[in-house]
Structure 1
C-alpha cells in the first residue's frame, strides 16, 4: 500500500470513496434516508474541493486504486477518515491514522479530536479516544447521531 499527500486531482476519487463507504459501511447504523442526506449520490465536487483545500489530506492506494483517506487540521482535528468498503478492516484506516499521528506529534500536537459516526466510534476508541459528548447533527434535513471524541498522542512532561 502506498500512502501519499493528496492533490487536487484526487477530489473525485475521494468523494466516490466517501460516498461508497457511507452507503455500504454505515448502513447498519443509519437509515437509507440518513445515508443519502449524509452522502448524496450527486455530490457537490466544487464544495468538496473547497473543503479539502483547507485541510491536510493523505490518501492510501493499493495497485493504483484509492482505498482510504484521512483529512486533518494542523491542530489535530481529524475531519474525515474513510476506507473503501472492499478494504474495510484491513488496516488501511490504522495506517493512515498512525502516519497522521506521527506528523502531528512531530509538529508538537499532543491531543486529537474528531466527530465519529456510530460506525467509526469503536475504531477511535481502539486508538485511545474517549467520547466527550453524544451529538445529533442535521444533514440535508435529516438528523444523524455522532460522537465528539478526544484522544491524547503523548503526555506533556513538565
Structure 2
C-alpha cells in the first residue's frame, strides 16, 4: 500500500493546478455560485484522474473527463437541479448534484481533500433534500471507484452497464437507496 501511495505522489496528476488543499480550515456546504465556474471542471477532471485511476484505464479517464472540456456546457449542466459545493476557505473543493429530484447525478471531491468526510456530508445533504421533496428512493449512476462509498451510504447495486464517451466504453453502476418504505 505504501509503495502505491509513493508512486501516486510521484506521478503528475492532471487538472490539479489551482485546486484547494486541506490546511486544517473548516468547510461548509453552500449552493453553487457563478464564481465556481473555473474550479468545478478542474475538480471533476482531477477526481477522475486521481480517485478513479485504480478502476479505469487512461483512455477511459480521458474520455470521461472530456465532459468538462466545454466549461460553459459543463456549468450549464450543473445549473440543472440542485448543485451544492463544499467551500473551503472561500473556494470550491467538492461538489454534488441532485437532478432530477430522485437522482444523485454527480459527486466529486478534489483529490487533496479526500478522506475528510466531505463526500459523505454532500451525499447526506442531497439525501435530505430528496426526502424533503418526498422522494421514495434515491438513485445514483456511480463509477466503479465510487461503488464502495455509495454502498457505505446505504445504496445497493441494481445493475451494471457501460456508457460511451467519445467512442470509449466506461463501466458504470445503477445504484439505489430506499428513503421511504411505501
**Per the shorter chain, which TM-score range?**
over 0.9
2:2 matches 1:3: no
**Greater mean deviation of Cα atoms: 81-90 or 100-109:** 100-109
Q: Of the candidates 126, 143, 157, which is equivalent to residue 117 of structure 1?
A: 143
Secondary structure of 1:39's counterpart equals helix
TM-score between both structures, scaled by the size of structure 2: 0.81
CA offset digits 1:68-87 (Å, max 9, x no partner):
11001252201100111011
Report the Cα distance in structure 1 between the residues aligned to 2:142 and 2:124, rounded to whole angstroms: 17
2:86 matches 1:60: yes
How do 1:1-158 residues align onto structure 2 when only pairs under 5 Å count?
1-40=27-66, 43-156=69-182
Mapped contact 1:134–1:147 kept (Cα < 8 A): yes
Report the Cα distance in structure 2 between the residues aligned to 1:68 and 1:128, rounded to whole angstroms: 21
1:20 positional shift: 0.5
Count of residue pairs brought into register by the alignment: 156
TM-score between both structures, scaled by the size of structure 1: 0.92
Match of 2:23 in 1: none
Could you tell me which runs of 5 or more consecutive residues in structure 2 were left unpaired when the two chains were aligned.
1-26
1:28 positional shift: 0.6
Mapped contact 2:40–2:95 kept (Cα < 8 A): yes
1:8 positional shift: 2.6
Root-mean-square deviation (CA), in Å?
1.5
Mapped contact 1:74–1:104 kept (Cα < 8 A): no
Moved over 4 A (4+): none
Structure with greater Cα Rg: 2
Instruction: Sort the Cα spacing of 1:82 and 1:42 in 2 relative to 1 into closer, same or farther, 3 A.
Output: closer
1:9 positional shift: 2.6
